[in-house]
Amino acid sequence: MSLARRLANGLMHLVYPGICPVCDRAIDIEEKLPCASCRAALVADAHEACPRCGSTVGPFANVEGGCVICREVTLHFERVIRMGPYEGLLRDVILRMKHAQGEVLAELVGQLWFDKIGPTLKQFAIDQVVPVPLHWWRYWRRGYNQSAVLARVLARGLGVPLKKRCLRRVRATPSQTEQTPAGRWQNMRGAFWARASSDLRGKTILLVDDVLTTGSTCSEAARALRQAGATRVIVAVVAKSRD
Ligand SMILES: [Zn+2]
Ligand SMILES: [Zn+2]
């Protein structure tokens, strides 16, 4: 176990001694967290996913140029790498990450995630890792940005810089869950700005978020990164939600 993983593991055991932070089952204090059955369930993605938008597709679907859901949609990122669909245990764990002690849980989930997707990510020769920022008031209410924690774990695993302040959310956007799909795209237009000092020119960026729904948030963030000079934007999300 890496030092960061040992620390997160130890911290979680301190907060919830002998309890798996994902399924609440009693486990041995020495056990690696989350418990073995949760670890297996979280990384098991039973379905094929569209490489362009991360949607679940059938085993024989033609995903050349995207799937039926995304083929007609303009996306400013090139590819989506997901841990799994937004359902079951993965959904539960993402909701838990938004609450107290979520930061340590995000660290543990991030490490599990990197174990799974690290080899795929390395093929893209990522230069920098950028989290999707929260608007300041949401950050203030939650106390941390789960995407930034996940991005930090991936950057550390890849051995590349984490650019936490590269993107700025220039306006608060109404909650995406209350929007229709068309409204979500409208809602996100111009929501991000990449700082001029970010040194993005010619770079391949890994953009990290917890959940991807229509892709409008990540696409707008990717647009800002590319306007600032980034050549390629690859998206990594813990879960792809259908709506
Ligand atoms: Zn468990
Ligand atoms: Zn697709």
Q: How far is the CA of 63 from the centre of ligand 2 (A)?
A: 7
Residue 225 to residue 220: CA distance in whole angstroms: 9
pLDDT of residue 175: 66
Please determine, for residue 4, whether its predicted confidence score (pLDDT) is greater than 90.
no
CA of 71 from ligand 2 middle (Å) equals: 6
Read off the pLDDT band of 46 (50, 70, 90).
Answer: confident
Calculate how far, in angstroms, residue 157's C-alpha sits from the geometric centre of ligand 2: 27
Tell me the per-residue pLDDT of 153-183, one tens digit each, with 9 for 90 and over: 999 999 999 999 999 988 766 666 667 777 7
Ligand 2 center–CA 38 separation, angstroms: 28
Nearest ligand to the C-alpha of residue 33?
1
Nearest ligand by distance to the CA of 57? 2
Q: Do the Cβ atoms of 26 and 18 come closer than 8 Å? A: yes
Q: What is the CA radius of gyration of the chain?
A: 18
Give the distance (Å) from ligand 2 centre to CA of residue 79: 9
pLDDT tens column, 103-115: 889 999 999 999 9
The two tokens of residue 112 are 């599990």
- What is the pLDDT at residue 48? 94
Mean pLDDT of the chain: 90
At residue 123, does pLDDT exceed 80? yes
Distance 13 CA to ligand 1 centre (A): 13
Query: Range with the lowest mean pLDDT among 89-98, 132-141, 210-219?
Result: 132-141
| Residue 134 confidence class, pLDDT cut points 50, 70, 90 | confident
Closest ligand, as measured to the CA of 240 = 2
pLDDT band at 215 (very low <50, low <70, confident <90, very high): very high
In this predicted structure, the answer to whether residue 65 has a pLDDT above a threshold of 70 is: yes
Distance 34 CA to ligand 1 centre (A): 5
pLDDT value of residue 67: 96
| Ligand 1 midpoint to CA 113 (Å) | 16
| Locus of tokens 């799937």 | 67
Sign of the CA dihedral 120, 126, 132, 136? positive
pTM above 0.75, yes or no: yes
Contact 164, 131 (CB under 8 A): yes
